[in-house]
Structure 1
């Protein structure tokens, strides 16, 4: 049984709350909701707070998620349900809530490295230590499973983060890897937090979604930032799955956490159903752009004798360009800034253990072509110094 944090325990209902539950059509003498008295803006209707987001929006989201039928383990899968969904303002907020739910201050969450440095930052703000486990590279990325098992032997580790696919490596959690991860988490009673925001943007095949996994308590994160290529929409969600008893307790505690924030606006609840209808076409458009740019990169780096090379991602919005250790990452980026007004994020920003820069696959192809030519030429020049 997963042990939840002490700080997420809502406690027992007091005597007044218990009595209120027995009474229908109760009137509150201290009701301070202006929409109950015709004082709100009529267009927005009556405000009925729901810590999970409006039922209408969650029903639409559940139906959308149920239409995506590619679980990583079909025999251990629970279809999405509106009762197991929480609407949020961002996946970052989702991480924050889940760390509150699973970890007390001083405890630990395990996260993949290399990776985007968001999780250590959020964990630190929650008073929790983020401990890395490693993705290794031997021509493709893979989880160092023996090292991960050692990390999870620490009883203060309460949650394991999977990023599926990872950013910026573009590597998915393979099915065989997940089977081992699932075994470790089940044996050690550790919850899984799976970030699937880039899942749709695959370039070949995918091993299957982890969202909905039912053998271990699992929290899947996704949202419109990537699904609609619209980070300004500020809509994301948590999908909860796993053993029934643990899910029930997790929902009770998440309700308590969410009720302290109530992040869902009227606009968010109203727009979610119609925005979900736009997702398939938008994903198709963005994926095609990324694949066009990836093909362009493959061609550019196919020239013989280059000092740099392309690490081909399996999915996501980025690719990594690797170059020799004799070319300093900072010097390369400074040269790009000074000579071409171009900047880049070097590999050490993500704790990548070799020299590289991350390249976006989102720009129009003509822009990508000219920028990559500049990058290749600059690396060549520095490698000869």
Structure 2
């Protein structure tokens, strides 16, 4: 069986950012922690029969803004997880946090509860850029949060965005150099995109860099992180040796995961099928249905992946990895022979999008630059 991870969704945030397309909802009142935790328990209980006997290697608490929860809530959450699921002794337990909600005692409490990795949504160290992005923190608060996180847990990730309104190569360099000076183990560098159904999609900000300028910024980021000892291992991820995000790697290597909470997704493998599930998105509706309905009331959808779906599902994830994956992983994770996709692989090699290596499935630099086109080659034919 593939490795198994657990994702826990915390849907609330202080304010919805204009670029955000995640399932997040502005907190209008006090978060109903007790009811939310009770619903998480019921959600996990309903999923347990699908994963009996399987060990969990990573846990990721994402959002929204999980750091809006009290230290006591995180402690209860992780105690509940341990009571139902066998975690490996060295399980990576990541929690997302925003600098605007960071407090020293909370970070220490999160660590005491078992969190050993914090991912901070800094996005920029430029106060003007932070205002344009709708963030509720400033650069000074971001720096304070990084220091607090590093004193509390073993590993810290910093999220930064680039290709921001009015951003030059020089401004982007200042941002990444400021992030690198803290000595964190991981960086996630995301190109600002106008995602559908966001405020920015409807009202795009002025002064966005053109494609050539954005490419120059990306080239600079690659050089700056490499010089600082980081390896670029996934489209948006950079890590010091031995510090890759194990939870995200499991996604990209087509591993299995349980998702609990509103809007959370699951992908689970069995001897004869692979299924995907998604919970209903609205927090109140999810809590009501999970607590008051039967085990399936919380589900928005459930899909059994077909043989035709699997190649694209696998490549959609694996091709994000800069060094690709072993060719044998395709059969191991899909139960399909590599011959199933051999003609498409040959075409991608001929187009210069995949490397000509029988032992790996690995995108070329051109394949990384045109990743959407490369992934689309594996879509099922109608």
TM-score range, shorter chain: under 0.3
Higher relative contact order (CA 8 A, sep 6+): 1
Larger radius of gyration: 1
Pick the structure with more strand per residue.
2
